[in-house]
Amino acid sequence: MSYFLFNGRYFITENGNYNFPEPLEALGDIVAIGGKITPERLLVAYQNGIFPWYDESMPVLWQSPVERFVLPLEKLHIGKSMRKWMKHSPYRITADTCFKGVIKSCRIIKREGQYGTWITPAVIDGYCKLFEMGYAHSVECWLEEKLVGGLYGVSLGNYFFGESMFSRADNASKTAFITLTEKMPALGLDMIDCQAYTENMARYGAENVSREDFINKLRSDLTKHETNKGKWTDYFQ
């Protein structure tokens, strides 16, 4: 056991293993509280449909939403205006060349209606270590030599778990995202986990599924598909 139950909540203990309570038995979105964000714990979390989402005023909250927002690649929809933009995009897109720059940019970018950030220094450190292990990835959007947009997430099996994106120029993050979807078949990916509903991802065709359906499919898929570890740089040449 790596957790204990107190007042109806599971709290993580640091006893050398990285087990989580069964997310399908959680009463709400929060599966567990506390613990350090290590790459080993992150891997166990993602394998079970769990991810950290909190802010700097809180302990770590490990979440598995009752409704999961997902985008199967076969249901991807790109609007006519973005298709037209992509044909004449002024940007250069790369992958895994500036992971720390992307995650730090996602941390500081101002977002409408959002105060503070869940991308804490501990999150940055944990995901950078996961990147070094070949499981976390970034897609970068450059205008000349300036990083103007991008996204990062985690790849396991045929899944890409999207974490965050940022944009400092017109359609920069959208261009990075669409380029990623174009490369997904070559990377062995066909499912994007968007975690929770956003209007932006809904436009691309993402849809809500139940936590039970998501986790059962995830666990089944991970037994069938190998993870494309290591840097994705060559796929984006």
Read off the CATH number of the domain in which 228 is found: 3.40.630.70
Residues 159 and 229 in one domain: yes
- pLDDT per residue as tens digits for the range 163-216: 999 999 999 999 999 999 999 999 999 999 999 999 999 999 999 999 999 999
What confidence tier does 52 reach under pLDDT thresholds 50, 70, 90?
A: very high
Give CA–CA dist 192/99, Å, rounded. 19
Residues 58 and 82 in one domain: no
The answer to whether 173 and 149 are in contact (CB under 8 A) is: yes
What confidence tier does 161 reach under pLDDT thresholds 50, 70, 90?
A: very high
Residues 154 and 232 in one domain: yes
Q: What per-residue confidence (pLDDT) applies to 17?
A: 86
% of residues, the chain, pLDDT over 70: 97
pLDDT at 113 over 80: no
Nearest to 229 by CA among 179, 187, 184, 183: 187
The answer to whether 210 and 74 are in contact (CB under 8 A) is: no
The answer to whether 140 and 201 are in contact (CB under 8 A) is: no
Question: Which of 51, 66, 81 is the C-terminal boundary of a domain?
Answer: 66
Residues 137 and 190 in one domain: yes
Give CA–CA dist 185/207, Å, rounded. 20
The answer to whether 204 and 76 are in contact (CB under 8 A) is: yes
Give CA–CA dist 218/221, Å, rounded. 5
Residues 43 and 90 in one domain: no
Residue 223: which domain range? 69-236
Q: What per-residue confidence (pLDDT) applies to 4?
A: 83
Residues 54 and 75 in one domain: no
Residues 38 and 105 in one domain: no
Residues 49 and 96 in one domain: no
Residues 49 and 83 in one domain: no
Give CA–CA dist 123/235, Å, rounded. 27
Average pLDDT, integer, range 66-75:
98
pLDDT at 118 over 60: yes
Residues 89 and 133 in one domain: yes
pLDDT at 111 over 60: no
Q: What is the pTM of this model?
A: 0.94
CA separation (Å) from 231 to 33, 48, 131? 31, 24, 8
Sign of CA dihedral 181, 183, 185, 187: negative
Number of domains in the chain: 2
Task: Tell me the DSSP string of the chain.
Answer: --EEEETTEEEE--SS------GGG-SSSEEEE-----HHHHHHHHHTT-EE---TTS--EEE--SEEEEEEGGG----HHHHHHHHT---EEEESSSHHHHHHHHHH---TT--S-S--HHHHHHHHHHHHTTSEEEEEEEETTEEEEEEEEEEETTEEEEEEEEESSTTHHHHHHHHHHHHHHHHT--EEEEES--HHHHHTT-EEEEHHHHHHHHHHHHTT-----S--GGGG-
Residues 118 and 163 in one domain: yes
Average pLDDT, integer, range 130-143:
98
Residues 39 and 102 in one domain: no
Paired sense of beta strands 146-156 and 159-167, if any:
antiparallel
